[in-house]
Structure 1
Amino acid sequence: MTLSPYAPIIGLLALAAGFALFSVASARLAGPRRLNKAKLEAYECGIEPSPQPVGGGGRFPIKFFLTAMLFIVFDIEIIFLYPWAVSFDALPIFGFVEMVLFIVAVFVAYAYVWRRGGLDWD
C-alpha cells in the first residue's frame, strides 16, 4: 500500500498546523503586552460584568440547554443520513433497517426534548 493518494491530505494538514502555530507564535512575539485591570476583566457585550444574572437568582434556564441538545441531535442525524442517502442503491436491506433504527433513536431524543418543553420558547 502506498501513501501517495494521501500525500495531498497530509500536506494540507501539515500546512494548516504550521499556519496555526505560526499565527499564535507571531501574535505572542509581535503583540503589545500592556495589560491593565480593564483588559483582564470579563467582557459581556458592553455590560458591566456581575456575579449574578440580571434577573437575580443564580440558575441558568434549562431552555438553552434543551435547544442546544436539539440542535446537536438533528445535526448528527443529518451527518449520518447524507452519506446513507448518497449510497442508498449500493446498500442491501440491512442498511435500510439500520437507518430506520437510527431514525427511531433520533425520534426518541426528539420526543424527549419535546416532552421537556424544549420547543416551547416563551
Structure 2
Amino acid sequence: MSSMIYFMSLTLLITTLLMLIASSISKKTLSDREKSSPFECGFDPKGSARLPFSLRFFLIAVIFLIFDVEITLLLPLPIILTFTNFFSWSLTSIIFLIILLLGLYHEWNQGALNWSF
C-alpha cells in the first residue's frame, strides 16, 4: 500500500515538473507576428468581431445541411431491401424521394437556390 502511494506521488511530481518545464520553455511574446497578421480568410483579427453576417450564406448553408442529412438517409436504402419485402421498401423510398423533390422544388420556386447575389 505504501509503495503504491510512493509511486503515485512520484508520478504526480514528475508530471508536474514536466508541465512546468514545458510551459516555461514555450512562453511566447504578447505581440506575436502570426497573431497580429490577418487570418487566411483575410479578416483582420484586431478589428470588430461583430461584422454583419450574410443571411443568404446562412440560408444556403442550412439548405445544404438539410439535403446532406436526407442523402445520408437515402444511402442505406439498398441494404434495407434485403431485409424487407419489395413493396414496403419501394413505397417508403418513393414517398421519401417525393418529399425530397417537393422540398427541392419549393426552395427553387422561392428563389433560395439562385447563386447570383
- How many equivalent residue pairs? 90
How far residue 37 of structure 1 moved from its aligned partner, in angstroms, is 5.0
Aligned match of 1:71 in 60, 64, 75? 64
- Residue 84 of structure 1, aligned match among 74, 77, 81: 77
3-state SS of 2:58 partner: helix
Q: Pick from 39, 43, 55: which aligns with 1:62?
A: 55
| 1:46-94 alpha-carbon deviations (Å, 9 max, x no partner) | 44243265xxxx3x33221222123222222221112112332442222
How many Å separate the matches in 2 of 1:112 and 1:35?
Answer: 54
Please tell me whether residue 96 in structure 1 is matched to residue 90 in structure 2.
Answer: yes
Q: Name the CA distance, whole Å, in 2 between partners of 1:88 and 1:94.
A: 9
Deviations, residues 6-59 of structure 1 (Å, cap 9, x unaligned):
xxxxxxxxxxxxxxxxxxxx9xx5682425255389836344243265xxxx3x
Percentage identity across paired residues of the two chains: 24
- Partner residue, 1:110: 104
The gaps in structure 2 that reach 5 residues or longer are 1-18
User: Scaled by the length of structure 1, what TM-score is found?
Assistant: 0.51
2:97, 2:69 → 1: CA distance?
A: 11
Larger Rg: 2
Shift of 1:102: 1.9
Answer 1 or 2: higher relative contact order, Cα 8 Å, separation at least 6.
1
CA contact (8 A) 2:107 2:113 kept: yes
Q: SS of the residue aligned with 2:75?
A: helix
Measured in 2, the distance between the counterparts of 1:110 and 1:67 equals: 12
Unaligned runs of at least 5 residues, structure 1:
1-25
- TM-score when scaled to structure 2? 0.53
